[in-house]
Structure 1
Amino acid sequence: MAMREQRRRKSTGFLFGELAGMLSASLENHYDFVLAWELRPGEVPEPGTEPVVHVMTGNLITPCRLNGLKGRVLVYEDEGARIMTIREKDIPDGL
């Protein structure tokens, strides 16, 4: 019997509910939540060359790495980089 070819599930749209669930779970579990835009340049748009968004959760960012990222934001403020800092006690319960 021939093996079935695995295919990527076609995206039917961005799932804001799933993204909100990941953020909520990250806050509840004291995990990092990282959303990153990856530009995949290609002169002619072909599959695999379009930009993608990565959403990652878990224990990912060390204090040293966080300070480095904050510094990069400050360096690129004039190009639109922004940072938002919220105290944990100011996050509403049940978010």
Structure 2
Amino acid sequence: DKLLRGLQAACQKRPISLSQIEQVVGRISRLVLESSDREVPAETIGQHVVRELRSLDRVAYVRFASVYKTFRDIHEFVESLEKENRAES
């Protein structure tokens, strides 16, 4: 499953169990199934993943976001992280 593999890659070498990752996949899968749309865009699924990872593990979140969100350069990436940190405070 592509979602599971993407989450495992983001969570690699982090203190996150396979069970936790599977729970995230389950929650996202339920959201997708409950959606009234016949097809859920990958962008929507990515937004769900980002939201889940943000609360689960900040490093995994950054890893996933660096691939999911297309940044033009390192400055845009750093700016996004700083904005995220300000929102957390």
TM over 0.5: no
More strand by share: 1
Which structure is larger by alpha-carbon Rg, 1 or 2?
1
TM-score normalized with structure 1 length = 0.27
Query: Structure with the greater relative contact order (CA < 8 A, sep ≥ 6): 1 or 2?
Result: 2
TM-score normalized with structure 2 length = 0.29
